[in-house]
Structure 1
Amino acid sequence: MQNKLWEDMGLAGKRAILVHHDDLGMTEAGNRAYLELGFPTGSVMAPGAWAPQIRTGDLGVHLVLTSEWAFPRMRPLTGESSLTDAQGYFWPTLEAAWQHIDPGDAERELRAQMVFLQRLGLDITHIDTHMGAVLRPDLAEVYARLALEFRVPALWTDDFHARGLPRDMADALARIMAEFPLPAVRLVDTYAVAAEDRAAWYVDTLTRLGPGVYHLIHHAAVPTPEAQRLPDWERRYADFAALRHPDVRRALGEFVLLTYREVRDALRRYLP
């Protein structure tokens, strides 16, 4: 289905990119970077303390089932017990989350996060997932169902087998993706790149990409004292600095700069 969608959007044979700001709502520093950079696409964490600050733009829901840092920690919006550790916070690791989470509890929580942001005035354009927590196959089915319920695209990669997942998990996810009429993209993820190499990596990577629809994940944040409490703050600031760099801007300018609102509106022509 996705190839037909991209063709209908006039993207066949072109290089298109969604410059996607992850983790909005977690810190004010991330929100400030979003507002200063001017790229409209990102996703908001409903349990984050700063979620109400970002309401307009090409914004989706960054669905949360884990709380990885000692600061800031996040709690579910619902009271579902399988989602939390002994202190009542989301599980800090994927391993712990996948060991404990009941899919029914997860579905109620993830729907609550979407409804909460809608009530704040967010026009949800898509959904994606914090730390890949929905990649457990039964949770992936919940994720896909919610996308169809709200009639929005979900972040799906076009090749789970290239993401370093166990083969049985990748096979299961590919089967689930094939069952749902949702578009798939090619991931470009900056996170593992050293902070000092970030700008050069952006230019080199973007220049080498061939035709396709790409989802570029970044976590830009300005270097405030709040941001500097995060263990990975240097990488977040490196994204912010790189995305302001003229060479990176020129490389991005060679793509069709796509929004999820455009994808959502095109997708809805295929959905009931």
Structure 2
Amino acid sequence: MSPKFLVVNCDDFGQSKPMNQAIMHLLEERRVSSATIMAPAPGFEEAAEWCRRRGAVNIGLHLTLNSEFDAVRWASLTGDASLHDEGGHMHKTVEAFERLADTGAVLKELGAQYEKAVRAGLRLSHADNHMGSLYGTATGRSHIPHALKLCAKWKLPFRLFRKVHPGDSLLSGIPGVERAAAKASALAGVLGVAIPDYLLSHPFQAREGETYERFKEELIGKLYDLPEGISETYIHPAVEDACMQEHVPHWKKRVWEYRLMLDDDFAYAMNDAGVTLTDYSYIRTHGRASRIGSAFALARELLRK
């Protein structure tokens, strides 16, 4: 059987107490690989203190440029006006961020988030991006080259992907995604930034008529269809919370993701499908491409019409 490795990352660590509670539990039980922490969010201090106390080494930085929910909002660390809406919070949508954020302000903010995490005593394992705001999916204005240069400076792997798995309907449905991935992964290789081979996505929202059992069946099916190499998938787990259930859209999906990671059926399927749960320390070692080969690949992509 070909080797299949999977990173299961908990996004949005530090967003709120109910999310922190779920993520801490899953990390303690080793049901997930890692989590990425949000430096501007209100639950950051609680999450960072837990990481320090436990000596966690599988916590990454969730580069955050959006604040999407009315019930849980935050401002940037640097205060630049272009990063905020009229209420003084980070933009709710990726489109607003892409259209309005000044590039210099974005880079300053990302640096401030990294510095805050380091000052908090976190030993960062990797970085990724909240809501995909740096990828340019809304307007085509991508900040990925800047993010990769920062990760090279910080010596951190980054969430990206070399190839699009045909079974991933969300990613494969984005126009031009394969060429964009080829360019970005080649640049990562040139810069020496380690990345996974594949990113497996699923809808953030609960779809009409969807139940926990249907969601579980879909995610378990992805395990059996996992491609050879290193894949990453991400979840946003949370415990049940009446206030969040009322005020945050699709909160039940967050609860389902938490429940799924504790479900014995999911653990059985991982083993039965021959999938090895790994983390970004494995990607750091095995996720780098040849710099020379990457330079040729990048030149080839840039010359394509």
Q: TM-score, normalised by structure 1?
A: 0.86
Q: Deviation of residue 223 (structure 1)?
A: 0.3
> Taking structure 1 as reference, are residues 186 and 33 closer, same or farther at Cα in structure 2, changes over 3 Å only?
same
Equivalent runs, 1:223-234 vs 2, <5 Å: 223-228=240-245, 229-234=247-252
- For the pair 1:185 / 2:197, whether they are aligned, the reply is yes
What's the counterpart of residue 150 of structure 2? 146
**Alignment pair present for 1:165 and 2:183:** no
Instruction: Give the aligned partner of residue 9 of structure 2.
Output: 20
Alignment partner, residue 176 of structure 1: 184
- Partner SS for 2:73: coil
CA distance in 1, matches of 2:75, 2:290: 36
CA distance in structure 2 between the aligned counterparts of 1:111 and 1:270, rounded to whole angstroms? 27
Shift of 1:195: 4.4
SS of equivalent to 2:109: helix
Change (3 A) 1:65 1:206: same
Cα offset, 1:262, TM superposition: 3.2
Give the Cα–Cα distance (whole angstroms) in 2 for the partners of residues 23 and 234 of structure 1: 16
User: Relative to 1, partners in 2 of residues 1:147 and 1:242: Cα closer, same or farther, differing over 3 Å?
Assistant: same
RMSD of aligned alpha carbons: 2.4
Aligned to 1:245: 263
Tell me: CA distance 1:172–1:103, structure 2 relative to 1, closer, same or farther (3 Å): farther
Shift of 1:160: 6.0
CA distance in 2, matches of 1:75, 1:173: 31
Kept in 1: contact 2:197–2:287 (CA 8 A):
no
Gaps of 5+ in 2: 166-170, 292-305
Matches within 5 A, 1:100-115: 100-115=100-115
8 Å contact from structure 2 (residues 161, 181) kept in 1:
no
Q: Distance in 2 between matches of 1:160 and 1:125?
A: 24
Aligned residues: 259
**Percent identity of equivalent pairs:** 25
- Mapping for residues 188-227 of structure 1, pairs under 5 Å: 188-192=200-204, 194-196=210-212, 197-227=214-244
In the alignment, the residues of structure 2 paired with residue 101 and residue 133 of structure 1 have an alpha-carbon distance, to the nearest angstrom, of: 11
Aligned partner letter, 2:150: L
Q: Please give the per-residue CA displacement for 1:216-270, whole angstroms capped at 9, x wherever unaligned.
A: 1111111023432321210000111111111101122332211113323566998
* 1:41-80 correspondence runs (5 A): 41-54=34-47, 55=51, 56-80=56-80
- Cα gap change, 1:14/1:24 in structure 2, threshold over 3 Å: closer, same or farther? same
Corresponding position of 1:124: 124
1:57: Cα distance to partner?
Answer: 4.3
CA contact (8 A) 2:198 2:231 kept: yes
- Once structures 1 and 2 are overlaid, which stretch shifts more, 209-218 or 15-24? 209-218
Structure 1 unmatched runs, 5+: 1-11
